[in-house]
Amino acid sequence: MTASDGLLELKRCVVFLSDIDQSWHQVLAPLEHQIAFILEKLKNESFLPDEKLIFRALLLPADQVKAIILGQDPYPTPGMAEGLAFSVSETVEVLPPSLRNIFSEYQEDLRLARPTSGDLSQWGKQGVLLLNQILTVAPGRPLSHKDLGWQQVTDAVLAMLSRQGRPIICWGNRAYRAAVRAGFAGDQILASPHPSPLSAYRGFFGSKPFSRTNDYLREQDIEPIDWNLGR
């Protein structure tokens, strides 16, 4: 990458960061060069989600975050990834297996009707940060961008929230390790196996992540989350 190319990517990075809520700028501004480096690597590649959705989770202001659901990386199936961990567009008719299992636990834990759409953006409006550790993926290749450097960026976001005492829902070992690395500890971490069909029956089902999160928030005198997606 030439100096002029680097400058162009840095300017592109600044544009990206200007689109997120300004409350995250103090955390991400020192990482502008890191983000610019990643964007340069992606410039001539196909990746998901769409470029304008990479930082979508960070439209939620930091001071409005009540809890975090930490995902691994975006869905690698074209048409599914939309910048929010585990969420898909309401136009997606066949939901990913992990999301179907999340909805099964949602029904059991909260005694609510099964959602008719996989769009989880309503949770964001309730203060749930739906963040992936890795913000992009190559189509059809899960974890293909695990070595691009996104974790350095998302670790900084998580570290900020851990200091604010927010609870984090960790599904799977990768999420748990990321939470510990960012400084989450004790009751802040609501961990269980991943909702993937390969592991959901090993302890994800019955883990009650939604009600446990609200129990934690009540203990901190914070208004609980309305998880109901049926509105």
Query: Catalytic amino acids?
Result: 73
As given in the structure block, the two tokens for residue 202 are 């090993």
Strands of the sheet with 128-132, listed across from one edge:
128-132, 67-71, 168-171, 189-192
Report, in angstroms and rounded to the nearest whole number, the Rg of the chain calculated over CA atoms: 17
Instruction: Tell me how far apart the alpha carbons of residues 218 and 212 are, in angstroms, rounded to a whole number.
Output: 10
d(CA 37, CA 85): 23
Q: Is the peptide bond before 30 cis (omega within 30 degrees of 0)?
A: no
State how far the Cα of 191 lies from the Cα of 223, in Å rounded to an integer.
Answer: 21
Rounded to whole angstroms, the Cα distance separating 218 from 200 reads 27
Which of the 8 DSSP states describes residue 22?
G
DSSP state of 138: B
Exposure on the CB side of residue 161, measured as CA atoms within 13 A: 34
